[in-house]
Structure 1
């Protein structure tokens, strides 16, 4: 973060060292000039190094190979240090304990960078990693229950045996959001790459959810995974159109309620068509006519609605019969209805037997 290099000095305070390394000899204690993207209320009070940033916020201070970095991080967190924006690339943080016991909410690690860090067995319950990076970090056997990863870079993160119940990732992944922006700007190569990364992340999250039997979460990640795959297909291709149709129909097999809504919409649409094209009952025309009263036309519409339900479910009582254009509509509705009912059974059983 380039903004971290700017100094922060509250009004009325003594002169502090600038972030370019210049020192004021009259200053008793130089503090870290970390600048948080969300405002000055997230300041760091740690002693500054020559760069003007403290040990944890200075990207140029390597955390890799430091034997006691885990213990130092735990102590830093426990004494109330500013965890937002810390840089812990490639740090050995195996079994690190960053859980705030007896307090509401976990540690706030927003904007923190844990690129390729070893976080195996880490205790990160309810921690907040929003806008940060866990790219290629190893979270094997870690506990991230209730943690927040909104707009966090999760590309390549290892989630084998990771406890991920109730995690929060927001409406879109970081890569997904950036991909949509790139697509709107006409940068299709960049957008396709970002969508591919998003698909990979959703796949890893789905597999991790399935391994722990969290099938509701796994179903959501499956929908997002297949959506990202669809975004990589040519815009007007048959393959993309078919994928979109399956999504609209049933959410890639994860949303039975969509099948119900589609069925109701089709029944109502067909009933309106029958109402204007007409059907027959005992040789008499049933449908809209200007000569009839509002009450009579209303009863005629409900007759058409009844016929639409019978046709959709392929019951075929035979009391009403289609005429003219209604025959084509009835044939189409019957075929679609039988397919939709079968689809609903498959999707519903899939959801209920997990």
Structure 2
């Protein structure tokens, strides 16, 4: 397209626009992606670049026909820092064949505009296309950018305080390390997908229905922000401040929130499945029964995950389940709290089994009590002490002991949460003992005949009598109308001791469930 004399002639596909900033990492990557070659291999001649590039895909059909302002470009595209908003306001192009004044016009093409340090306070650019624009250190406070296309723009130190960016497209933006200010901004339905806005300020912003899939918004301030219904799938929000933020109906599946401050944040009806919340502050966080925390956390299902702090995934899982347990208990959901308590204990059991499998002979853990006793008993000869110490190192394996204790607790009481397992074990023990007693024999206290399987009594009557004796022995009632014979006495002693232990355990489990 030929440009009339005295006009800007800027095109988004202009090689000069890309070449002048080839030292910029973002622009270099953009050029390489467009051309498919290294920048040093591309001729500086525009004709050569044109032959190598699909201009239609780069938007070459658009050419700026605004009047030249400085350096051969219009006021929008001239490489001039700190532009005044009045110049920009007057330079708006009215649509063809209309009588609408330029300052009121919408839907304008402003691709590749240069607005570094520009004063854009209160400017109206709604539904405009600003792809590839330079916005570093620009002031967008109180501006209207509703529905604008800001994809692939360059950000850094931008102030968008109280700006209207509703339904705006901010995709594929790589903001610099300077803080961007979105405080109190209207960002309803804005699309931040695949963008990077670390260290930004979103305090008090309205992000209802915003899309932030795969966005990097780590170390940001979201305090008192409203993020209801937002899509934050796979977003990175590590170390961000989300105090008093509202996340109702938001989707944070696989979002990274490690180290975030979620104090008094509202996550009712939100989805936090597989989200990373290690070391996040959950005090006062509001949830309801519709809040999806998932049956298992991310760190338990992805044990091969590598982290910067080298913390084992199972250790992170223990921390998460403990935090979830306290969170659900604080919000009045005892059944969910019991679930996360069981998950916490189950992960602890897995951790101890892992440590047990790593145990190698003399490198086992030595109980601290043995070391303390050994250091204080000076009267024992040193050879005997060393012998006892070496024996303890080979025999006593603390991780194995812990693993077995966790395993027994899991099988018998489900870590103290299942009274039915205690009842089932008790019934099975009574039945097994009832089967064993006739092998040795039980005797009535009023007679001399011994009840065994070989006696003249029917087998059903033998089992009924034996089951009765086993029951009263287990419950330690001992009416005295039966007594065991032979080795059955030892079995009766074991059964009475086990019965007392299991009944005490049942009382403990019932009392524990009542405290949730």
Gaps of at least 5 residues in structure 2 are 1-28, 35-52, 60-128, 132-148, 155-167, 192-206, 357-398
C-alpha displacement at 1:91, in angstroms?
A: 2.4
**Counterpart selection for 1:98 from 227, 231, 246:** 227
TM-score normalised by length of structure 2: 0.51
Question: What is the match of residue 152 of structure 2?
Answer: 49
1:25-174 aligned at under 5 Å gives the runs 25-27=55-57, 48-49=151-152, 58=172, 60-61=174-175, 65-68=179-182, 71=185, 73-76=187-190, 82-100=211-229, 107-166=230-289, 167-174=291-298
Contact 1:56 1:87 in 2 (8 A): no
- DSSP-derived class of the 2:325 partner: helix
Distance of aligned partners of 1:192 and 1:110 in 2 relative to their CA distance in 1, 3 Å threshold: closer
- DSSP-derived class of the 1:232 partner: helix
Larger helix fraction of residues? 1
**Counterpart selection for 2:500 from 338, 349, 354:** 338
C-alpha displacement at 1:80, in angstroms?
A: 6.0
C-alpha displacement at 1:341, in angstroms?
A: 0.8
Distance of aligned partners of 1:227 and 1:79 in 2 relative to their CA distance in 1, 3 Å threshold: closer
**Structure 1 residue 269 and structure 2 residue 372: aligned?**
no
Distance of aligned partners of 1:129 and 1:324 in 2 relative to their CA distance in 1, 3 Å threshold: farther
Deviates more, 1:271-280 or 1:301-310: 271-280
User: In 1, distance between residues paired with 2:327 and 2:496?
Assistant: 41
1:204-243 aligned at under 5 Å gives the runs 204-233=323-352, 234-235=355-356, 237-243=400-406
Contact 1:62 1:89 in 2 (8 A): no
Aligned length, in residue pairs: 307
C-alpha displacement at 1:143, in angstroms?
A: 1.3
User: In 2, distance between residues paired with 1:192 and 1:309?
Assistant: 51
Contact 2:151 2:172 in 1 (8 A): no
- DSSP-derived class of the 2:483 partner: strand
Residue deviations 1:223-244 (CA, integer Å, cap 9, x gap): 3333333333342621322233
TM-score normalised by length of structure 1: 0.72
C-alpha displacement at 1:339, in angstroms?
A: 1.1
User: In 2, distance between residues paired with 1:269 and 1:327?
Assistant: 15
C-alpha displacement at 1:325, in angstroms?
A: 3.2
C-alpha displacement at 1:122, in angstroms?
A: 1.7
- DSSP-derived class of the 1:172 partner: coil
Contact 1:274 1:304 in 2 (8 A): yes
Question: What is the match of residue 297 of structure 1?
Answer: 459
C-alpha displacement at 1:108, in angstroms?
A: 4.3
Distance of aligned partners of 1:165 and 1:288 in 2 relative to their CA distance in 1, 3 Å threshold: farther
Contact 1:63 1:89 in 2 (8 A): no
Structure scoring higher RCO (CA < 8 A, sep ≥ 6) equals 1
C-alpha displacement at 1:30, in angstroms?
A: 12
User: In 1, distance between residues paired with 2:56 and 2:269?
Assistant: 46
User: In 2, distance between residues paired with 1:191 and 1:305?
Assistant: 57
Gaps of at least 5 residues in structure 1 are 1-16, 32-45, 101-106
**Counterpart selection for 1:288 from 453, 462, 466:** 453
